[in-house]
Structure formats: structure tokens, C-alpha cells
């Protein structure tokens, strides 16, 4: 199991690489500033997407990372 410090470092690295440092910092600031229920957010994340669309996104992501 990874330590909290390792998870924070990996998360910040991924956010910074994908969003840029400034946008990653803004994202973290927004999460800390507002009450955020990850479980509720996750429930609605893909609600307007068909299974086919979700599958295509998953395959695209997999092909980019493998």
C-alpha cells in the first residue's frame, strides 16, 4: 500500500503534467474551498454517456497508456 505522501506526490505530478501547474493548483484550491462529495460526483460523471461511448473512451485511454 502506498503512503499518503506518495499518493499526494503522484497525484500532483499527474495533475501538473495533464493540466499544467497553475491549473492543477487551481483544481486543488477548488477542492479544498468547496464541500466536495466524490461519491456523488462519480455517480453523475458518466450519466449522459452511452455504454458504447464509455467503452470507446476506455479503449482510447488504454491505447495511450500501454
- Domain segments of the chain: what residues? 4-65
What's the rounded Cα separation, in Å, for the pair 48 and 9? 32
Task: Calculate what percentage of the chain has a pLDDT beyond 90.
Answer: 47
> What are the backbone dihedrals phi and psi of residue 3, each rounded to the nearest 5 degrees, phi first?
-75, 165
Q: Is residue 44 a contact partner of residue 36, using CB atoms and an 8 Å limit?
A: no
What pLDDT does 6 receive?
95
What pLDDT does 16 receive?
94
pLDDT band of 21, cuts 50, 70, 90:
very high
pLDDT band of 10, cuts 50, 70, 90:
very high
What's the rounded Cα separation, in Å, for the pair 12 and 23? 11
Amino acid at each position: 500500500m502506498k503512503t499518503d505522501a506518495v499518493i499526494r506526490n503522484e497525484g500532483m505530478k499527474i495533475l501538473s503534467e495533464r493540466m499544467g501547474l497553475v491549473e492543477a493548483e487551481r483544481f486543488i484550491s477548488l477542492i479544498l474551498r468547496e464541500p466536495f462529495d466524490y461519491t456523488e460526483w462519480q455517480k453523475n460523471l458518466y450519466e449522459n454517456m452511452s455504454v458504447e461511448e464509455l467503452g470507446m473512451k476506455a479503449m482510447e485511454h488504454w491505447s495511450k497508456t500501454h
